[in-house]
Amino acid sequence: MPRTIHLALHPYGVGGPGQHGLWKDPSVAKNASIDINYYIKQAQAAEHALFDALFVVDSQFINATYPSHYLNRLEPLTLLSAVATHTRHIGLVGTASSTYNSPFNLARRFASLDHISGGRAGWNVVTSFDTGTSRNYGLDEHLDYTTRYGRALEFVKVARGLWDSYEDDAFPADVERDIFLDPTKLHALDHEGEHFKVAGPLNLSRSPQGQPVIFQAGVSEEGRDLAAQVAEGIYAPGGSLQQAQDYYADIKKRTASYGRDPEHIKIFIHGGPIVAATDEAALRREREIFEEDNDFKGNLALLGRSFGAYDFSAHDLDAPFPDVAHLAEKGGRTGASKLIERAKAENLTLRQVADSVSEFRRSPFVGAPGTVADTIEKWFDAGTFDGINLAFRNNADLELFVDGVVPILQKRGLFRTEYAADTLRGNLGLPVPANRNTREPSLADD
């Protein structure tokens, strides 16, 4: 079977990181981030275009400097459960922290979404780099990198064990024999590990896709290793074509090194396409968007988020970049460390570092529909992604992509013309996990 592209939609609401002016757009409702009808309409539009999934991000710490969408938004699993009742095919992927949740509770919530949606749930596993989250959970300090990723690996293993609590035929519901449950097909987990002690079993059976699909966004060495061990979908950092190729090859190689089939991990890069009638109009619009969002105060706050929501405004903007290396270890370590190294090597001021983080960078996916389709095909053929996680500023931009680019990709055989399955796994081409507890029929089956 020829490879085809997977597409996911990442709704922005009133504006995520770096989108300081989006909430001012007259086409964007000021309450979009808390309006369930906004998400339902986004999901239905993406489903009409045969997208694989709707992806919802999350965090559990804010201050007044955070992006507009982060200040006032719905909890992902509640949101996606509502969307599930208004859609039939599109996958529903929610972000949830393995650092600030318990395995039993979260496994039950995702299993519930999986049942509500008929097998379309996905879990984006994050370890939380917002260090202030710890104080919302009664902890004085955020866990360090090694602990967070060790906990995440064990957390996913526990969740998967709980999702296998019931064998698929555990409920004969036989009135004549007075047997609702075959007790031999219910299994406690009895897990005792470094981070968790969970007895189980979970009080919910497996869904049509067996288990929710595990997603992860691994950038650091620890993150990439976690993804290679447990992820079935990855949200990749993107970057240049070469950087995307290198990341793609690295993850596939690591996946194989853990004895897994590299085809069973789908890598999605971020894409913010800008489509217009002509290439010139699209390039002009891209620059306009940058100017709409280019706010130094917001950029400085965004820089601080990589260092645990640190307030850089207390420093002299034109003095050398301050020594904040100690804040990187428990925050966004990979990106923050690169910023520190560059600042030292080039003797940059705080102002220069803040400007560099948000400087104008052209997206590869900008132009007329044919141009954008050509670039997507080029990147796909070059081995940079299995799918694209698409983000659009407003519904009109989404429609331009759906009406202009998708038909071209379909005509070239690069994107589906109908859904292959009713489950997220089925549409991603992922196998249904075997239940670890399945065994020979019991006496109750006689």
As annotated, the binding site for FMN includes 58, 95, 149, 220
Give binding residues as ranges: 58, 95, 149, 220
In contact, 274 and 290? CB cutoff 8 Å? no
Cα-Cα end-to-end distance for the chain: 42
Give the list of residues 6+ apart from residue 206 with CB closer than 8 angstroms, or none: 111, 163, 164, 166, 168, 435
Cβ atoms of 34 and 40 within 8 Å: the answer is no
Number of H helices, E strands in the chain: 16, 12
326 burial type by CB count under 10 A (0-12 exposed, 13-18 middle, 19+ buried): exposed
State residue 54 phi and psi, 5-degree precision.
-105, 130
Closest CA to 339 of 310, 297, 303, 290: 303
User: Where are the alpha helices (H) located in 231-368, listed in sequence order?
Assistant: 241-257, 279-293, 296-305, 325-328, 333-346, 350-357
Helical axes 241-257 vs 221-230, angle rounded to 10°? 60
Query: Angle at the Cα of 185 (from 179 to 188), degrees rounded to 5?
Result: 125
* DSSP H or E run through 49: none
Residue 272: in which H helix or E strand, if any?
none
Look at residues 219, 254, 224, 225 and name the one whose alpha carbon lies nearest to residue 237.
Answer: 219
Identify the three-state secondary structure at position 125: strand
Nearest C-alpha neighbor of 93 from the set 10, 217, 162 = 10
